Amino acid sequence: MKIKMILAMDENNTIGNDGDLPWKLKSDMKRFRELTIGDGFNAVVMGRKTWNSIPEKFRPLPDRLNIVMSRDSKLSLQGAEVALYDGRAIEIGYSEGCEDLWIIGGSEIYRLFLPKCDEIHLTRVHEKIKGDTVFDGIDHEEWTVTISEKLFNQSGDDYDTTYSVLIRKD
Ligand SMILES: NC(=O)c1ccc[n+]([C@@H]2O[C@H](COP(=O)([O-])OP(=O)(O)OC[C@H]3O[C@@H](n4cnc5c(N)ncnc54)[C@H](OP(=O)(O)O)[C@@H]3O)[C@@H](O)[C@H]2O)c1
Domain carrying residue 95 = 2-168
pLDDT tens, per residue, the chain with 170 residues: 999 999 999 999 999 999 999 999 999 999 999 999 999 899 999 999 999 999 999 999 999 999 999 999 999 999 999 999 999 999 999 999 999 999 999 999 999 999 999 999 999 999 999 999 999 999 999 999 999 999 999 999 999 999 999 999 98
Cα of 153 from ligand 1 centre, angstroms: 30
- Which secondary structure element, helix H or strand E, spans residue 109, and what is its range? helix 107-113
Cα of 87 from ligand 1 centre, angstroms: 17
Residue 112 CB less than 6 A away from ligand 1: yes
Cα of 111 from ligand 1 centre, angstroms: 10
Residue 92 CB less than 6 A away from ligand 1: no
Neighbouring residues of 38: CB distance < 8 A, sequence distance ≥ 6: 99, 100
46, 5 in Cβ contact below 8 A?
Answer: no
DSSP SS3 for 99: coil
Cα of 49 from ligand 1 centre, angstroms: 5
For 11-45, the pLDDT digits (tens) are: 999 999 999 999 999 999 999 999 999 998 999 99
Between vectors from CA 43 to CA 37 and to CA 44, what angle results, nearest 5°? 90
Gap between the terminal Cα atoms of the chain = 18
- Count the alpha carbons within 13 Å of 124 in the hemisphere toward its beta carbon: 14
Least Cα distance to 77 among 38, 102, 47 occurs for 47
Full-model pTM: 0.98
Distance CA 124, CA 7 (A): 9
Between vectors from CA 58 to CA 110 and to CA 87, what angle results, nearest 5°? 30
Residue 127 CB less than 6 A away from ligand 1: no
CATH code: domain of residue 6 = 3.40.430.10
Mean pLDDT estimate for the chain: 97
Number of domains, the chain = 1
Residue 109 CB less than 6 A away from ligand 1: yes
Distance CA 112, CA 48 (A): 13
